[in-house]
Chain A
Amino acid sequence: MNRADLRTILYVDDEPDIREVVELSISLVSNLQVVTCESGKQALGVLPDVRPDLVLLDVMMPDLDGPGTLKAMRANPALGHIPVVFMTAKAMPQEVAKFRELGAVSVIAKPFDPMTLGEQVLKIWETLPDEHTQS
């Protein structure tokens, strides 16, 4: 089976400024598009329609936080296979290990460099095991 290209990312964050920055960052990478959501609940609503290749998920959000959103995705057979990357300012090694145990494939530390975020995400995609990236 061929490794699929990364085409669509869903970015979930309650901060409007950061959502804008991520839209800008991803626009710098050819053939990559991003859809943004302002909450975990909204994300769960749009995931079946958007069908992203990858989800970038903020950790600290009101109501349904990042880990809660990931847990809900994993409980849904239609969404459970989508790789999730947490984005958080709490990215010490012990915290990253905890996030991986929850099922995230990687963690991107905030604050990130807006000019290189797209490339960073592509590198993560390229290192994912094949079961996450099949076409």
Chain B
Amino acid sequence: MNTPSPNEKLAEIGSRYVKRTLGEMPELRRLLDAAVAGDAAAFHQIGRLAHRIHGSGAMFGFSELSDVAGRLEHRVDGSVGPDFQKSLDKVRTDVDDLEKQVHAAATARGV
């Protein structure tokens, strides 16, 4: 049996990563709905999820995924506070973009 090359191993880890991240998208939507309803903790959690994806997507070749997640993270970080709901329209757009990128990554990897 041939030993996988480092790039092959990385691709395998990347496929698992994409599958896991895809599975987190319903939670992201739930957090957004909760933030719209006034839940500041949920708004903060959106930032944490975005931070995780920002710090990892590009490692597996999904640079745009990292960039979009970074944009969402920075928008949430810059909006935390009593007036966080003022940024929700833009946050929603960022979440839509992030979800598109995750689905694109999943399609690319066949997961």
Q: Check B17 against A17 for contact (C-beta < 8 Å).
A: yes
CB distance from B87 to the nearest CB of A (A): 19
**Which residues 1-36 in B have Cβ within 8 Å of A in the complex?**
6, 9-10, 13, 16-17, 20
Residue B48 is within 8 A (CB to CB) of chain A in the complex? yes
Q: List residues of B whose CB falls within 8 A of some A CB.
A: 6, 9-10, 13, 16-17, 20, 48, 51-52, 54-59, 66, 70, 73
A-B contact number at CB 8 A: 47
Chain A residues with CB under 8 A of B66: 111
Q: Check B6 against A111 for contact (C-beta < 8 Å).
A: no
Chain B residues with CB under 8 A of A21: 10, 13, 59
Q: A18-B56, A24-B6, A111-B57 are in contact. Are A89 and B73 (CB under 8 A)?
A: yes
Q: Check B6 against A115 for contact (C-beta < 8 Å).
A: yes
Quick one: closest B residue to A19, CB to CB?
A: B13
Residue A110 is within 8 A (CB to CB) of chain B in the complex? yes
Chain B residues with CB under 8 A of A17: 13, 16-17, 20, 56
Alpha-carbon distance between A115 and B17 when the two chains are bound, in angstroms:
17
Chain A residues with CB under 8 A of B55: 18, 88-89, 110-111
Chain A residues with CB under 8 A of B56: 15, 17-18, 110-111
Give which listed residue, A18, A88, A90, contacts B59 with CB less than 8 A: A18
Quick one: closest B residue to A62, CB to CB?
A: B48
Q: Check A60 against B59 for contact (C-beta < 8 Å).
A: no
Chain B residues with CB under 8 A of A18: 55-56, 59
Residue A105 is within 8 A (CB to CB) of chain B in the complex? no
CB distance from A56 to the nearest CB of B (A): 13
Quick one: closest A residue to B57, CB to CB?
A: A111
Chain B residues with CB under 8 A of A45: none
The 6 closest A-B pairs by CB, nearest first: A89-B55, A110-B55, A111-B58, A17-B17, A111-B59, A89-B54
Alpha-carbon distance between A18 and B13 when the two chains are bound, in angstroms:
9
Chain A residues with CB under 8 A of B6: 24, 27-28, 114-115
Alpha-carbon distance between A21 and B59 when the two chains are bound, in angstroms:
8
Alpha-carbon distance between A118 and B23 when the two chains are bound, in angstroms:
31
Alpha-carbon distance between A90 and B52 when the two chains are bound, in angstroms:
10
Alpha-carbon distance between A90 and B54 when the two chains are bound, in angstroms:
10
